A and B are shown apart, each in its own frame.
Chain A
Amino acid sequence: MSLLVKLLAQRIALGLLLLFLVSILIFAGTIILPGDVAQQILGQSATPEALANMRRDLGLNDPPIKRYFSWLGGLVQGDLGTSLTSGKDIAESIGKRLGNTLFLAFWAAIISVPLAILLGLIAVRYRERWPDKLISAVTLASISVPEFLIAYVAIFFVSVRLRWAPSVTTINDSMSLSEKLHTISLPIAVLTLVVLAHMMRMTRAAILNVMQSAYIETAELKGLRTFTIIWKHAFPNSIAPVVNVVMLNLAYLVVGVVVIEVVFTYPGMGQFLVDHVSKRDIPVVQACGLIFAAVYIGLNMVADIVSIVANPRLRHPK
């Protein structure tokens, strides 16, 4: 087995182990949460007998270990359980929400990742000159302002004053792709502003680091143009750190959009999670938590795999 395959297998196994450990954490976390679903469902007027019956029906009297393994067993078979409050199948109701969240994250990523890398390349090309300083100032300012503030300011100017895009971004299946994109254009723009700075700064730093190398001097002494050197000689050697930051930000686009979804009333996972936390619907919260964790771990795993594969020494062993 080649070293590359071995490293990849190790990394994937590690990801799965991590996911398993996270599932324990999530389960343990929800157990120690205050409040009681049975109480929540029956309301303040519930009799002790009714509460006890409810608990028994929901399986809340079983020992935690047993409950964990029956939950895990379901998970492995794709069964996320049923919602305690609505009685619906969780997988089904989450599926649609997750689809919406991924839709938004996908389009935000399509715009923000190439833009961030391009800005990073430009910043390197004109380092310590005004384009570099302008890019840094703007992106750092946008990351420093709380995202809900950017969102409301954007709503005020773009939706209310200019009327270019709607402020309520509810989408449904009957809409065409272009209608959907127009509807979610504002949240995409705000998310892009939020994640841009981090990726741009990392691209800039990683490439500047490589620009110190002797082979960059070789390229300069071949008479190449500065931008050609950055793009063809420096960037391929800075992929690993850049991909890591890109993946972290993609994860944020999926996991961290709660605020944006609430501000724009977008029917995604974030809102779904917030609703069910307030209802103490433990199975739904657990499922959401696990999906978020899986996204995070999965994307970071992809980042590591790309870093491993991007290393020519591993790809082309002696």
Chain B
Amino acid sequence: MSDKLLKVQNLKIGATVYPPGEKPHDIEIVHGVSFEVEKGKVLGLIGESGAGKSTIGLASMAYGRGGVKITGGEVWVNGRDILKTTNSDVRALRGGEVTYVSQSAAASFNPAKKIMDQVTEAAILQGKFSKKEAERRAVELFQKLGLPDPENIGNRYPHQVSGGQLQRCMTALALCPEPDLVVFDEPTTALDVTTQIDVLMAIKEAIRDTGVAALYITHDLAVVAQVSDDILVLKMGDMVEYGSVDQIINNPQEEYTKALVSVRSIEHAEKTPTPEPVLKVQNITARYKGTNFDVLKNINVELHPGQTLAVVGESGSGKSTLARVITGLLPQSNGSVHFAGRDLSKDLGGRSKEDLRELQMIYQMADVAMNPRQTVGTIIGRPLEFYFGLRGAEKRKRIVELLDEIEMGEGFIDRYPAELSGGQKQRVCIARALAAKPKMIICDEVTSALDPLVADGILKLLLDLQKVEDVAYLFITHDLATVKAIADSIAVMYQGEVVRYGGKTDVLSPPFDDYTDLLLSSVPEMKLGWLEDVIANRKMESAGN
């Protein structure tokens, strides 16, 4: 097994769970997984949340997060089983032979220490380099990863650089000790698409140039297709399919893999605008209290009854702020919100109960949008009481109807949020919004926290409900695939302005403005070599200019 850098055999991992109302007990979360990584190769671990992919990645460093314990199997790194070795051996392995890049660099850097000290710490501690050598190597890596001012960026503190830059610093941290293997755990998931593509390219080039092997963990098959040699598909701690990247993407064998490859296949034909829009946002300009910077600049959009307007943009583009203005949480400094034939009061206090009822909201984090101590029935029943005065059997009947509409059924009425899956929680939030019989629902990144297949289910449900209830959606998202799936019209936001607005087909057809072009071309496609093509195109364009 000389050229096998990492060899995992029949790996079993357990965890202690604390279910509500039951005694804590141990369960198995990874059920016998085997794979190998050769020197200089990249293996993609892919699966939805709960698949055990991060757990397996960390197990290759003999690490269990929280109460996670490795209960069986073998993990061979450089020819020794790291599960049967001493503590000091494991310490030499971590940060020396195998290093780790986490999803959130912002949380994974110590806020009280300079970036350079953190990047070089492991290399110096493991005795690989002297402080001076390590710092020189770090600067080289900063340069290779395309960080601005590579000589001095190490002297900054983590909060002084942007999220995308910090993620690259984290990659430098992992590469600094010249490891044999790097575990990348969703390294670009938290980034905007236009940032993701740069980081992805930087990671790919760094892997190629240093000859390091990698485990690349992600839920996004399109991303992993760009960087991996092989792919291992996981589901609920089981191996589903294991093969070369070409085979998995172009010729998947298992049903589950096929579903992952063809995710986001919802087709939705654009509807034509009606004469009377339900929502008309006119010349909205807004800023937050105590600042002198307009977060929204002269926004004009319309939403028609029973249709969907997708507001798309990256973090900081002002899309959530627009929702705050429409709901009255942030009074605008200029402009008006015209809704269902009337002008809405600037602030929440001046709105009637009818205004509130007809304009509902669904949030990104279904978890925190529900009271954990109320049952599903209470949560959905509350707007029924508040807006329609329903009580007793009548109320229960309506709750059951709503539960049927969200495809969950009466059996869930006495459950608590903690007993539901992520997708089910979001469905309950949808039912709660629908209970008010609104004319319009603002959906703020409602699928962003969900796995692709679950998110697909939610989108399908929203489209079906739109047909039945004739409700309009203002759909806020950063995800262009979602936009394509459900929108009738689209507003692209950038730095507080709408840079492109119109029907879906028009907005998504050339000629594009620069920003929309950048945004669209940055969305990973389920195609081998996509990343290289995009980068090559951009280089050509910038050379042409």
Contacts and interface: CB of A to CB of B under 8 A. Distances in A.
Contact of A218 (B100, B156, B159): B100
A312 B92 CA distance: 31
Interface string B300-334: 00000000000000000000000000000000000
Interface string A296-318: 00000000000000101100101
Contact of B99 (A221, A312, A313): A221
Given A220-B94, A222-B121, A236 B112 contact: yes
Contact of A312 (B65, B93, B126, B159): B159
Contacts of B126: 223
Nearest to A219: B110
A218 B109 contact: yes
B505 interface: no
Contacts of B100: 218, 221
A313 B159 contact: yes
Nearest to A232: B113
Given A221-B95, A223-B96, A214 B160 contact: no
A279 interface: no
A217 B112 contact: no
A316 B160 contact: yes
Interface in B157-211: 157, 159-160, 173
Contacts of B90: 223
Contacts of A312: 111-112, 157, 159
Given A312-B159, A316-B157, A237 B111 contact: yes
B102 interface: yes
Contact of B95 (A222, A310, A313): A222
A223 B91 CA distance: 4
Q: How large is the interface on B (under 10, 10 to 19, 20 to 34, 35 or more residues)?
A: 20 to 34
Contacts of A213: 107
B108 interface: yes
A198 interface: no
Contacts of B35: none
Q: How large is the interface on A (under 10, 10 to 19, 20 to 34, 35 or more residues)?
A: 20 to 34
Contact of A220 (B63, B107, B156): B63
A231 interface: no
A221 B94 contact: yes
A318 B159 CA distance: 7
A312 B109 CA distance: 13
A217 B95 contact: no
B108 A217 contact: yes
A223 B160 contact: no
A214 B102 contact: yes
Contacts of B58: 221
Contacts of B122: 222-224
Contacts of B296: none
Given A214-B104, A318-B159, A224 B95 contact: yes
Contacts of A236: 110, 112-113
Contacts of A225: 91
Contacts of B113: 233, 236
A213 B99 CA distance: 18
A215 interface: yes
B95 A318 contact: no
Interface string A62-104: 0000000000000000000000000000000000000000000
B159 A223 contact: no
B437 to A, nearest CB: 43
Contact of A221 (B63, B92, B107): B63
B111 A313 contact: yes
Contacts of B104: 214
B68 to A, nearest CB: 12
A212 to B, nearest CB: 10
Contacts of B93: 223
B160 A215 contact: no
A225 B121 CA distance: 12
B286 interface: no
B17 interface: no
B61 interface: yes
Contacts of B96: 223
B125 interface: yes
A218 to B, nearest CB: 5
Nearest to A238: B112
A218 B113 CA distance: 13
Given A222-B95, A223-B92, A237-B112, 11 more contacts: A215-B108, A215-B109, A217-B102, A218-B108, A219-B121, A221-B63, A221-B94, A221-B100, A223-B90, A223-B95, A236-B113
Query: Which 9 pairs from chain A and chain B are nearest by CB?
Result: A222-B95, A223-B94, A214-B107, A223-B95, A222-B122, A223-B91, A236-B112, A215-B110, A221-B100
16 contacts: A214-B104, A214-B107, A215-B110, A215-B111, A218-B118, A221-B61, A221-B94, A221-B100, A222-B94, A222-B95, A222-B122, A223-B90, A223-B95, A237-B111, A312-B111, A318-B159
Interface of A: 213-215, 217-225, 233, 236-237, 310, 312-313, 316, 318
Interface of B: 58, 61, 63, 65, 90-96, 99-100, 102, 104, 107-113, 118, 121-122, 125-126, 156-157, 159-160, 173
